[in-house]
């Protein structure tokens, strides 16, 4: 079975630009979450979506937005990129929202902002 797939795997952008990251969840999973992982740290929560509705938002600026499509895939958008946005962006899927539904992560998109 295919796991969580993310595209692209790597991306280099310039400060001020916009970026869109894409994620396809495990088949049957209806919830998608996005996390940011800076080198040497654990992942930090950005968003969670379930059944196309936002169910949670972490402490990130409004430059970050996301959406979930009817096929449960998801996009993460980041506007006006800053150098500090350079990180590994991880998508995770789960059957549903909640602690009793463990998250399964993709291999991430590595974003470099120059």
Partner 1 sequence: QKEVEQDPGPLSVPEGAIVSLNCTYSNSAFQYFMWYRQYSRKGPELLMYTYSSGNKEDGRFTAQVDKSSKYISLFIRDSQPSDSATYLCATISSGSARQLTFGSGTQLTVLP
Beta carbons within 8 Å of 60's beta carbon, 6+ residues apart: 36, 46
Other CB atoms within 10 A of residue 53 CB: 10
**Residue 39 or residue 83: which is nearer to partner 1 going by CB?**
39
Which residues sit opposite 56 in a β-bridge? 48
Task: Give the residues lining the site for partner 1 (CB under 8 A).
Answer: 4, 33, 35, 40-45, 48, 55-56, 58, 90, 97-100, 102-108, 110
CA neighbours closer than 13 Å in the CB half-sphere of residue 99: 0
Q: How far is the CB of 51 from partner 1 (least distance, A)?
A: 14
Looking at the Cβ atoms of 42 and 70, the one nearer to partner 1 is 42
Q: Which is nearer to partner 1, 67 or 104 (CB)?
A: 104
């Amino acid at each position: 079975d295919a796991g969580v797939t993310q595209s692209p795997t790597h991306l280099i952008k310039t400060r001020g630009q916009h970026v869109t990251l894409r994620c396809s969840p495990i088949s049957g999973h209806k919830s998608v979450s996005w996390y940011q992982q800076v080198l040497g740290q654990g992942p930090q929560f950005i968003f969670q979506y379930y059944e196309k509705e936002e169910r949670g938002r972490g402490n990130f600026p409004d430059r970050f937005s996301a959406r979930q499509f009817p096929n449960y895939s998801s996009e993460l958008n980041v506007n006006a990129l800053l150098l500090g946005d350079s990180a590994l962006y991880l998508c995770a899927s789960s059957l549903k929202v909640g602690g009793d539904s463990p998250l399964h992560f993709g291999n991430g998109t590595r974003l470099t902002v120059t």
